[in-house]
Structure 1
């Protein structure tokens, strides 16, 4: 196991020791003096700076996991973000899947908090499966089976922060397919009941086997504009946001833009739901041998130094908001279908970028959030 030693300011999970709360032995969320925090198992405030898609082209080995750890520790990241298996799609035009998802063996070897995705359904915007009958016994049985398989193994792990569900579900599409017109009030209410059942069944399945960990819910696509049935909307309709409130602890949002662009949306979703927000997936991109940037696109920057500076600006703005409890970067490595990694195709870091990330993560994270 790779062991990270605590220091005078951080506990062994990366929590800020000057922020004290009740220790329960597991991660939880709490609002202290107007600011939302993740609370570490030892009872200290924690803000999650993580990296997603920490995966590889072959099966994992201890050498690879140690390679990952050494970089993430050095760069000041404190969380393994979503690293489950993903799909390629016609839209992405490239193979995204690297390897099997992380399992208990890899998590145990890495001395970092993590969030695990439980794939209960295939309702992502990039797949064409049918929406499940969430009122059926078959759906409940499937959710129970998945929760029993994974949650019963992970329920006592203090490094596990909690569980994600689906990645970027296309809720407006499913409203249309299930015969609900989101322009009509009655249809909104009926679809809200359907979504609430989806969240309730998943919640109950997890709780049967694990009452210790947070429910991070779906990873919503915040800035995805979706035209469905002559309605243009983002990936998070109000009726779905209301449906998740009773059974999900944290609002997880993917949003690829500068922070000022997304701030109004995030603020609205926070006020509507009352849930602290994890920025679950976003990045800035610079030109490489395989990527040409488009200057008019906000997330593209001229070079790796500017990329690191963009990270610092975004992080300062985000963590100045008292309802932001984390930001996870997409991604650890580059591939044909994902060009936002911190390593190039030869697995060498983009030093100009990651050194600036390290400066914020190790020196500014808890200073900014305390203002």
Structure 2
């Protein structure tokens, strides 16, 4: 790694961008003046008013280090880096703040062009006062966005720009580095003046942005505009009724979806025998409910007639009073029968958008129309823990659930996801939980395996470094011993095998024509990662398709470990923004609407060309509510906004990808 000290010439290019386009060049210049720049895979080309480098290898980057004192980025919401690409092809650039996995920004910089890479400055935690003033909200007024970050914005020691696909000879220039949008915490009179901050349509009152409405007529106009647009874009004419490739090769038709490796790439095959790649969206027509009980002061009056049936958009659940502004706004434009029109429109939208899959947690009424293929889901987990797979009731329970599922025999159902984002830990984790008593049936199984392996309890004691007098003592103990590592690894694999095997057997018994789509690993960085590969490899023995919720900026590096070969699917991904009136940019920040749409397009195209991937499912259909769902998520991540109008940039990206995805994958 090469190191350069920043000169005053570079510092003069740096500025701080404030609200109202006012700028001040002092703060960042002072910060950088005390730091250094390190690079890997880059040679310095020139140094004038910018940092100019030439790549010497595939994959390169630059790291800005604070030096002896850390930087204070806490007064701002964004770090913005202006990158110029001198190459004759586009470059992907990703910014990492303080080396944190979640605090990132990214952009694709076209050939001979310049782009700004906007990174959201996350807050590790909120003050007690902010939590009391804005309960159950992950993003707050003033720019606070909470996520699993490992740094504090008042103490930043580095940030980096990485070019993972840069080629030798490509040249880049860092034109400018700015801190943007002042951060604010509300309290006292300023807080009182902010209230209420949600209008009668569910919009954030202080924000100004394209598409913000002021009356019911605006909702109706947006609906008419969309209807005209869908007439112009009826959907890909080369698709069959399921969204498979009607103009592609004809394979064996079984009347259900299946998976097959065809010409070196994994594919789904639809019931007609056509190649199928799953381009999907989760939570279709799922809603945007937010709890209003105890937070009434946040909301402006809904201005509805006294005789309106509020049950059409308000529900009671677990002590919460949940309002869906999305449903309310559909009621405003369509009346009390809005659900019928919503169901019809959801299917027509997906076809128009070149989306061929209704993915997890979607509206059952939309699914039952049998107009769009879908994935089903069942759950066996307790929180993030698996159940005891050695319990005689485990497989029976799965079979019972499947026996009540209409999807088991439905040709429109692609298959079943079972569970979501389980906590697998390392390759000793499940055995450790067993020793600690979480899985009593598994513990009996563990004992039996040890009895079979060791000639005597004394031999186990010598290996483990334990002093058990009887096997009953072993059963009563919850201690882990240093010498037990080999047995813990072995039994953890045994438990995992039992979990996946029982589910596979249950599916064979009750839904033999449906694919087992896995458990949706939350390994966004998996690419044969040795820490995670043990459980992914086990899953691949039983799952027809192994699934990942992959919140990264790309899918190109996702592949099986070692020399294994199996199909994969991405169950969740998204890129969020802050320029449409919501307060949090989601799990992967996308900046403005055009950039997040561009990220979507590249992500899905990367997946389409990945020979192991058979689909991607975006999370989710709706933007979330300003004041958040039950766990506080209030992300701008939807295909549609709060008044049921499309986020057009994202729709255009999906159409573009869907129009050519089969031709692209078949190359």
Same fold judged by TM-score > 0.5?
yes
Give, in whole Å, the separation in 1 of the partners of 2:661 and 2:646. Answer: 22
* Structure 1 residue 344: Cα displacement: 1.8
Aligned to 1:277: 568
Assess, with a 3 A threshold, how the Cα gap between structure 1 residues 77 and 181 changes in structure 2: closer, same or farther: farther
Matches within 5 A, 1:1-371: 9-17=238-246, 18-54=248-284, 55-56=286-287, 57=289, 61-83=339-361, 102-103=363-364, 105-124=365-384, 131-150=386-405, 153-172=406-425, 175=430, 176-179=432-435, 184-223=485-524, 237-259=532-554, 263-264=556-557, 266-269=558-561, 273-287=564-578, 288-293=580-585, 299-335=588-624, 336=628, 337-339=633-635, 340-362=637-659, 364-371=660-667
RMSD in angstroms over aligned alpha carbons? 3.0
- Greater relative contact order (Cα < 8 A, sep 6+): 1
* Structure 1 residue 239: Cα displacement: 2.7
Match of 2:249, SS state, is strand
Return the index of the structure with the highest Cα Rg: 2
The superposition leaves residues 39-83 of structure 1 with CA deviations (integer Å, 9 ceiling, x where unpaired) of 010001010100011212459932221232222122110000001
Unmatched tracts of structure 2, length 5 or more: 1-233, 290-312, 316-337, 436-479
Give, in whole Å, the separation in 1 of the partners of 2:360 and 2:508. Answer: 21
Is the CA contact (8 Å cut-off) linking 1:293 and 1:301 kept in structure 2? yes
Identify which range, 210-219 or 177-186, moves more after superposition: 177-186
Give, in whole Å, the separation in 2 of the partners of 1:352 and 1:243. Answer: 40
Aligned to 1:127: none
Is the CA contact (8 Å cut-off) linking 1:181 and 1:187 kept in structure 2? no
Give, in whole Å, the separation in 1 of the partners of 2:523 and 2:481. Answer: 20
Is the CA contact (8 Å cut-off) linking 1:15 and 1:44 kept in structure 2? yes
- The alignment's TM-score, normalised by the length of structure 2, stands at 0.46
Is the CA contact (8 Å cut-off) linking 1:193 and 1:243 kept in structure 2? no
Give, in whole Å, the separation in 1 of the partners of 2:539 and 2:594. Answer: 39
Assess, with a 3 A threshold, how the Cα gap between structure 1 residues 16 and 134 changes in structure 2: closer, same or farther: same
Give, in whole Å, the separation in 2 of the partners of 1:154 and 1:76. Answer: 23
Assess, with a 3 A threshold, how the Cα gap between structure 1 residues 243 and 309 changes in structure 2: closer, same or farther: same
Match of 1:221, SS state, is coil
The superposition leaves residues 240-273 of structure 1 with CA deviations (integer Å, 9 ceiling, x where unpaired) of 22322332100111111111xx544x2244x555
Is the CA contact (8 Å cut-off) linking 1:30 and 1:37 kept in structure 2? yes
Assess, with a 3 A threshold, how the Cα gap between structure 1 residues 235 and 48 changes in structure 2: closer, same or farther: farther
Give, in whole Å, the separation in 1 of the partners of 2:423 and 2:611. Answer: 28
Is the CA contact (8 Å cut-off) linking 2:267 and 2:275 kept in structure 1? yes
Assess, with a 3 A threshold, how the Cα gap between structure 1 residues 208 and 355 changes in structure 2: closer, same or farther: same
